[in-house]
Chains A and B, each alone.
Chain A
Amino acid sequence: QVQLQESGPGLVKPSETLSLTCTISGVSITNYHWSWIRQPAGKGLEWIGRIYTSGRTNYNLSLKSRVTMSEDTSTNQFSLRLTSVTAADTAVYYCARDVGYFDNSGYSGYFDLWGRGTLVSVSS
């Protein structure tokens, strides 16, 4: 059974860096693409970024200057770093398995498996 589990600090100070890890069990990280998605309390979903099986990354343009994603195949984990956080970054952060393919026009995919989510609050 494939499972995803987010982990990391639940509280981050303004202007500091948010760091989260997603631990994958039941499947090799190298077999799929993976994404981070967040949801502020009472609001909708926002895609943050994706790491492809190639190790290449793609980020939401609105967050691109502050986001870095990486993977560690030896531990079957991938990570999110978001710098210079503000209160607007307070949200539940989800990691998700990203099933998709490339063709001449780009990438088509969907998120078929999600972690339970972890709440990150930005506050001094």
Chain B
Amino acid sequence: DIQMTQSPSSLSASVGDRVTITCRASQSITRYLNWYQQKPGRAPKLLIYASSFLQSGVPSRFSGSGSGTDFTLTISSLQPEDFATYYCQESDNDTFGGGTKVEMK
């Protein structure tokens, strides 16, 4: 089975900061790598699919990159509504990463 490791598990940042979250797969991903945002008490929301494609309606400050085993989600300028937990997910086996909680500094 593919293991997905996100880092960091949590981070503190301020509004306006550039934030980068990493997702590393235990073996090369041959299919999609997706990113989701989840706020407390809410369902996850798709941000990025197939590593770098922005889901419709998602602000352009979110971007994704990577291939093989290493992927990143970047928020170019953190906004107040972006404080949340972020998950990566690979579609070879539909495994999710452990999550990265973005908190206010």
A residues with CB within 8 A of B: 35, 44-47, 50, 60-61, 94, 99-100, 105-117
Contacts and interface: CB of A to CB of B under 8 A. Distances in A.
A5 to B, nearest CB: 11
Please tell me the size bucket of the interface on B: 20 to 34
26 contacts: A44-B87, A44-B96, A44-B98, A45-B44, A45-B87, A45-B99, A46-B96, A47-B89, A60-B94, A61-B1, A100-B91, A105-B31, A106-B30, A106-B31, A108-B31, A108-B50, A108-B91, A109-B32, A109-B91, A110-B89, A111-B34, A112-B55, A114-B43, A114-B44, A115-B43, A116-B42
Contacts of B18: none
A110 B46 contact: yes
Residues of B contacting A: mostly: loop
Nearest to B30: A105
Contacts of B87: 44-45
Nearest to B98: A44
B49 interface: yes
B91 A112 contact: no
Contacts, number: 62
**Which of A45, A105, A112, A117 has the largest count of B CB atoms less than 10 A from its CB?**
A45
Interface string B70-99: 000000000000000001010110111111
Interface of B: 1, 30-32, 34, 36, 42-46, 49-50, 55, 87, 89, 91-92, 94-99
A38 to B, nearest CB: 11
A113 B97 CA distance: 19
Nearest to A50: B94
Contacts of B31: 105-109
A115 B42 CA distance: 9
B91 A107 contact: yes
Contact of B43 (A44, A61, A105, A116): A116
B69 to A, nearest CB: 17
A110 B49 contact: yes
A106 B43 contact: no
Contacts of A108: 31-32, 50, 91
